[in-house]
């Protein structure tokens, strides 16, 4: 009897050990797959969302969903409220933009890269959209690869279902339902940003050794060339007040190291532009503007471990996150001005660096 009891007790211990380690490994490995839950974020404290991501600007889908790409793993979404994340698209995909209501994500599939019909010098790529509610994926366009990659934040209009994809290639694909309005251009696209009411797009035109702005107005249809020029326009943004922001440089050899941010007010009726510098004394690396236009966030080349914020009224900068990393290129403020996602370089081993994505809740 004692021997049987001992055997029974031994079996119970084995079951408990198996259950314990099963639970342990489930909790550990859940973090490696889609659908896992992340801890919440306190105001002013950074949260590491993902490591070794593709170096690109994080994309907001609506108010609380963040899109990013993990190297070798594909495109993921992260929900701030629930703390959950899941895969959207396979490796080789690059997210371009989300509709402002957060219902659709537009991305390109680099695995589809090929020569355009009847050409050898032009490459085209398939453009897809992903609907979050139904999880369906649809190819809805074919675009010039160089065009789709260079447009920046101007792929989707702030209102409606309008898409700007640059110069139209020869290859075509039938638009599935629901149909969206695709805007094409006859010349190379370059950096592009929409005005908030979606009546016009602001674009960068390169010519005569300098970058120049021009605006394409849709109703009535016309192009307005503006005289504000710089050697290089590195970044182009707009806010909800239809101010235009340019990160510019006149340095020929290292434009990224010496640059400034200019804010412009555009008068479409008079076809005039008025610009003033808002960030002058900084070697800006990454930059973004609050959608409300009230402040900027940026990182500097020469200041490691600090993400800075500067208010428009005085341009005085202060650190809002520091001590974690080397400066990176990419910052993105949420549409409601409450969150900041930023990509930084983290040292892995020796001189080997990875791009890591952090999230911080901004103070009011």
Q: How confident is the model at residue 256 (pLDDT cuts 50, 70, 90)?
A: low
Task: Please report the pLDDT score of residue 160 as a whole number.
Answer: 80
**How far are the Cα atoms of 178, 225, 245, 343 from residue 59, in angstroms, in the given order?**
23, 30, 18, 12
Task: Please report the pLDDT score of residue 31 as a whole number.
Answer: 36
Q: Are 131 and 104 in contact (CB under 8 A)?
A: yes
Q: pLDDT for 4-38, tens place per residue?
A: 444 445 444 433 333 344 443 333 333 333 344 44
- Mean pLDDT of the chain, nearest integer: 80
Q: pLDDT for 80-114, tens place per residue?
A: 999 999 999 999 999 999 998 999 999 999 999 99
The whole-model pTM stands at 0.82
By the 10 Å C-beta count (0-12 exposed, 13-18 middle, 19+ buried), 125 is classed as: buried
Cα gap 93→110, rounded to integer Å = 6
**How far are the Cα atoms of 212, 232, 251 from residue 255, in angstroms, in the given order?**
16, 7, 5
Q: How confident is the model at residue 66 (pLDDT cuts 50, 70, 90)?
A: very high
Given a cut of 80, whether residue 58 has pLDDT beyond it is: yes
Given a cut of 80, whether residue 151 has pLDDT beyond it is: yes
Q: Can you list the alpha helix ranges (DSSP code H) found in the chain?
A: 2-29, 145-150
How big is the chain by its Cα radius of gyration, in Å?
Answer: 24
Q: How confident is the model at residue 326 (pLDDT cuts 50, 70, 90)?
A: low
Q: pLDDT for 176-214, tens place per residue?
A: 999 999 999 877 778 899 998 888 998 887 777 778 888
Phi-psi region of 313 (alpha: psi -120 to 50; beta: other; left: phi over 0): alpha
Q: pLDDT for 220-245, tens place per residue?
A: 788 887 766 777 888 899 999 889 99
Task: Please report the pLDDT score of residue 257 as a whole number.
Answer: 66
Q: Are 89 and 74 in contact (CB under 8 A)?
A: yes
Q: pLDDT for 261-289, tens place per residue?
A: 889 888 888 888 888 888 876 778 788 99
Given a cut of 60, whether residue 336 has pLDDT beyond it is: yes
């Amino acid at each position: 009897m004692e021997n049987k009891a001992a055997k029974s007790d031994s079996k119970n211990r084995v079951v408990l050990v198996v259950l314990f380690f099963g639970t342990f490994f489930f909790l550990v490995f859940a973090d490696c797959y889609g659908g896992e839950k992340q801890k919440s974020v306190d105001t002013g404290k950074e949260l590491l969302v993902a490591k070794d991501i593709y170096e690109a600007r994080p994309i907001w889908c609506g108010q609380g969903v963040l899109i990013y790409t993990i190297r070798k793993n594909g495109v993921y979404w992260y929900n701030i409220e629930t703390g959950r994340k899941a895969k959207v698209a396979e490796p080789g995909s690059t997210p371009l933009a989300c509709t402002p209501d957060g219902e659709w994500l537009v991305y390109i599939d680099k695995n589809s890269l090929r020569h355009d019909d009847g050409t050898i010098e032009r490459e085209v790529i398939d453009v897809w959209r992903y609907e979050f509610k139904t999880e369906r994926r649809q190819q809805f366009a074919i675009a010039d690869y160089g065009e789709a990659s260079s447009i920046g934040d101007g792929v989707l209009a702030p209102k409606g279902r309008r898409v700007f994809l640059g110069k139209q290639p020869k290859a075509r694909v039938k638009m599935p339902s629901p149909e969206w309005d695709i805007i094409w251009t006859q010349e190379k696209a370059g950096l592009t940003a929409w005005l908030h009411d979606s009546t016009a797009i602001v674009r960068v035109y390169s010519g005569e050794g300098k970058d120049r702005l021009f605006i394409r107005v849709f109703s009535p249809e016309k192009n307005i060339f503006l005289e504000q020029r710089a050697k290089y326009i590195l970044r182009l943004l707009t806010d909800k007040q239809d101010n235009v922001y340019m990160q510019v440089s006149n340095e020929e050899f290292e434009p990224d190291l010496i640059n400034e941010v200019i804010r412009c007010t555009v008068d479409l009726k008079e076809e005039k532009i008025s610009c003033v510098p808002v960030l002058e004394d900084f070697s800006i690396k990454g930059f973004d503007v609050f959608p409300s236009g009230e402040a900027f966030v940026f990182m500097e080349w020469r200041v490691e471990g600090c993400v800075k914020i500067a208010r428009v009224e005085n341009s005085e900068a202060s650190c809002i996150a520091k001590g974690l990393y080397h400066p990176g290129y990419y910052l993105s403020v949420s549409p409601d001005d409450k969150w900041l996602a930023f990509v930084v370089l983290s040292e892995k081993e020796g001189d080997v660096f990875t791009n890591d994505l952090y999230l911080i809740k901004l103070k009011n």
